[in-house]
Structures are given as structure tokens and as C-alpha cells.
Amino acid sequence: MHERNNLYLNGQWTPPSGDRFIKVTNPATEEVIARIPAATPADAESAVAAARAAADAWGETPVTERAALLGRIHQGMTARMEELAQTITAEVGMPIKLSRRIQAGLPAAVVESYIKLIGEYQFEERLGNSLVVREPAGVAACITPWNYPLHQVIAKVAPALAAGCTVVLKPSEVAPLSAFILAEIIHEAGLPEGVFNLVSGTGETVGELLAGHPDVDMISFTGSVRAGCRVATLAAPTVKRVALELGGKSAAVILDDADLPAAVKGTVGACFINSGQTCTAHTRMLVPERIYAQVVDLAVEIAQTYQPGDPFNESTRLGPLVSATQLERVRSYIQAGIRERALLLTGGAAPPKGLEQGYYVQPTVFGRVTPDMTIAREEIFGPVLSIMTYRNEDEAVAIANGTNYGLAAAVWSSDPARAERMARRLKAGQVDINGGSFNLLAPFGGYKQSGIGRELGKYGLEEFLEVKAMQFK
């Protein structure tokens, strides 16, 4: 078992003030693989104090120096990429082949993008008799989830540091190990004391203190809608900047002229990535009624190629869910789909054969799902696809937009102009057209209850900047 006995405070690995620790479990084996400190409110206070003390000097650091330090962080991440991938597969369960590319590779690419971006970004501009300047917001508290533990950390920490903010990071206690490796990399990169601080622990103990702390100027949170509402409520009395990246119930709209095999394959893949534990997962497949039967046959055939297995096996496509709690949640949604008379096409709530140990669930596809069903309205966070039908494009838009979420969506059509027209009608922060690839410079975030603000690219940088106008006579 790997022991993490210290927090990273004010540039030093520091013992926590309490004596409680949190166990980290491998979801494929159910074995405890590590333990981390359960930080106390006093530890969180120390982290904020260190970040506050360092804020002015770091905010005045030249952009070129900040970029150079980010460059050293990028080098450290690249050097330890395989270790990061192996660690995240062990704590989250994403198959190792995907972890190398997504869980470890993507965060390094995001850091690299900010090195280039701040070298080109206009932090000052003249508007008539005004000089408009963009300055660091100050102390940024970043609270991150477990499903993409390093990427979600980097999507906040990289732009915060690039903007000149100091950081207090609270990673998810479910999958925290990659954050400790990142802290080691940051320490080796030589950031000034107090610029980056790591406090591990629970949301109730650490996260809530950070959200309401008067010396925290900005809070960036990724997680559930319930927890995001709590963060916003706690932040309100101090009127601090708040960015929230919350849940999703994304629809993939397949139009009647789409390349069906490509559309169905792409949608199933976008639903099952990371065992469905993805906020942008395309969990609702909307298809014209007249081609429903064709789509069902394709979807079942493709879904059955996602056989769950050991995430360290190079050929595995579907790993376990992250925890026993998550397994119970997903099974309960599958049972709700059956109870509400959706048509179970493949999968189900029973454990996959031969995988009774570990938090595995069968890849599941439901047909004849209607908009009022629980599985069509609520975020499941598991490999569960709902196939829904529509009669015309207006009805497709109404169904796609008919949830409380608006994070992502997809459109499939052989006519790019028609696909774009549909995409413009969807109330979602990102819309993939015909399988368009992820762009780490494009804004990431959602409409409605999917959140407030944007991450990645210049949009993510600007979340950590205040704007000042100076008028000259």
C-alpha cells in the first residue's frame, strides 16, 4: 500500500494537523492501494494563508517567467506520463491504453497549450482614452472530481497559474493519487512558496471551508449539481468569483441522412468512454422512428464489443466503475429503466459473468425510452445508453433540449449545413458534428444546470482574470 502522509503547503511537504487518513481503493480488485491525509479545517486555513501571502508577488511575476515555470511542469509531467497513466488506471479503472492518451496525455497537452497561449494573449489593450488591463483574480481554490482526476485538476491549475493566481487544490478523495504526483512535479519545477498548495480531504471538511473563505477570491468547482449549488451558496456571502462545471445528459441527434454505422458507433463510444463516467457522455441517442430497428441492431452489436475486463489488459475497452457507491447507483438506474418499461436490449443490472469481484457493470442499452423516464432525465454516470425516437426535427430539438442539463450534444448528418443548423438549435456548450474531435483550445462548459463559466483555451484563462479600466484625461 502506498502511503501519502503529508500535505503540500507553502512549498513544503507538511504533516497534517489531524491523525485521520482516507483509504484509496482499486475498483478492479476492491483492494486498498493507498491512503492519504484527511486534512482538517486548520490545514485548509494554512493553505489559504500561504496562497494569500504569495498572491501579490506571483501576480506581478512577468508572463515569460510564469510560462517558463509551466514549461518545467510540462517537462515533469511528460517524464512521468507512464506513471501517471498507471496510477489513474489503478485508482479510477479506465483501461490503460486509454489512460495513456486521455488521463495522462491530455493534461500534458493542456499545460503546453497555456504556455503558448499566455505568450500571445493580450493582457492589456487601449480603448479610446482607456487602458484596459486583465489582472489575476488572486487566490483560487480548485475543487476537482474523480473521473478525470488529473485532467480536471490541470484544466483549473494551469490557467490559474498562467493568469498569475495562487492556488489551493482539493482533489477528490476517491482518486487523489495523481494530484500528489503533480504536487511533486510542481515542487521540482521550483514554483515560489505558497503559489501552489495541496490539501486532500472531504468536501464537507475542506471544500466547504474553501468555498466560503473570505481570503479565497475565486473558486472553480467540478462535480455534481447538488454539490455545485452548495459551493455557490457558501461562496455567495463573500461575493467571490465562481466557476461551476457540473453534470450532463447529452443527446446525440442522428438525422435521417446520417451514415448510420458511423453515427451509432460514435455515439456508443461517446456513451461508454471511461465506463460512462464522463459528464459529456452521449447517453441519449435520438433517431428517426422509421430507422429505429436498424439503429437498434447496430447499437446492440457495437455495445456487445465493450466487454468489461481488467483495466491493465491492453485489449480491455471497458473497465470497472470507480467505487461500490457508484456501482450501486448505476445498477439502481438500470433497474429503474426496467421498472419504467424501457426495453432492455442488452446488458442489465447483474454483474458481468466472471467479474463478480470489482465494481463492474454490464454495458447496457435501452430502447423505446421516452422523455419522461428516469433514465432519460437524470445523469447515470455509467455505461447505459437510451435510444429514443422522434418524428421530425422540431421534436428532436425538443427532446434534446428537454432536460435540466446543457453540457454537450452531437449531430450526425451527411449534409454539413443541415447538421450545423441542428447544432445551432441545441442548448449545449459543446456540439460535436459527425464525430468532430475534442479541441483543447475551445471553450468547455454548459448551459442551464450544467454550470457557469468555461474551461480550456483563452476562455479558461479569463475565468481567473479580473478586468480593470484606467481612463486618461
Rounded to whole angstroms, what are the CA distances from 208 to 51, 192, 204, 227, 449? 17, 26, 6, 10, 20
* Topology annotation, domain 2-246+450-471: Aldehyde Dehydrogenase; Chain A, domain 1 (3.40.605)
Spatial CA neighbour of 195 closest among 164, 170, 216: 164
Say how many CA atoms lie within 13 Å of 161 toward its Cβ: 31
* Topology annotation, domain 251-439: Aldehyde Dehydrogenase; Chain A, domain 2 (3.40.309)
Q: What is the pLDDT of residue 167?
A: 99
Which grid cell sits at 358?
470489482
Name 261's Cβ contacts closer than 8 Å, sequence gap at least 6.
298
Q: What is the pLDDT of residue 353?
A: 93
| SS3 state at 84 | helix
What is the C-alpha separation between 9 and 51, in angstroms, rounded? Answer: 9
Which grid cell sits at 350?
447483474
| SS3 state at 74 | helix
Q: What is the pLDDT of residue 2?
A: 85
Listing from the earlier edge strand, what are the strands of the sheet with 196-198? 12-14, 7-9, 196-198, 166-170, 139-143, 218-222, 241-245, 451-452
Sign of CA dihedral 373, 374, 378, 379: negative
Question: Is 0.85 topped by the overall pTM?
Answer: yes
Name 297's Cβ contacts closer than 8 Å, sequence gap at least 6.
none
What is the C-alpha separation between 344 and 329, in angstroms, rounded? Answer: 18
CATH 3.40.605.10 residue spans of the chain: 2-246+450-471
Name 452's Cβ contacts closer than 8 Å, sequence gap at least 6.
232, 242, 243, 244, 445
The DSSP result for 188-224, as a single string, is: HHTPPTTSEEE--S-IIIIIHHHHH-TT--EEEEES-
Strand blocks (E) in 65-112: none
- Grid-cell match 502522509, residue found: 5
Q: What is the pLDDT of residue 129?
A: 98
CA angle 347, 331, 172 (to 5 degrees): 120
CB 265 within 8 A of CB 434: no
Q: Where in the sequence numbering do the catalytic residues fall?
A: 245, 279
DSSP secondary-structure letter at 317?
A: -
Q: pLDDT tens digits for the chain (473 residues)?
A: 789 999 999 999 999 999 999 999 999 999 999 999 999 999 999 999 999 999 999 999 999 999 999 999 999 999 999 999 999 999 999 999 999 999 999 999 999 999 999 999 999 999 999 999 999 999 999 999 999 999 999 999 999 999 999 999 999 999 999 999 999 999 999 999 999 999 999 999 999 999 999 999 999 999 999 999 999 999 999 999 999 999 999 999 999 999 999 999 999 999 999 999 999 999 999 999 999 999 999 999 999 999 999 999 999 999 999 999 999 999 999 999 999 999 999 999 999 999 989 999 999 999 999 999 999 999 999 999 999 999 999 999 999 999 999 999 999 999 999 999 999 999 999 999 999 999 999 999 999 999 999 999 999 999 999 999 999 99
What is the C-alpha separation between 290 and 288, in angstroms, rounded? Answer: 6
- Grid-cell match 499566455, residue found: 118
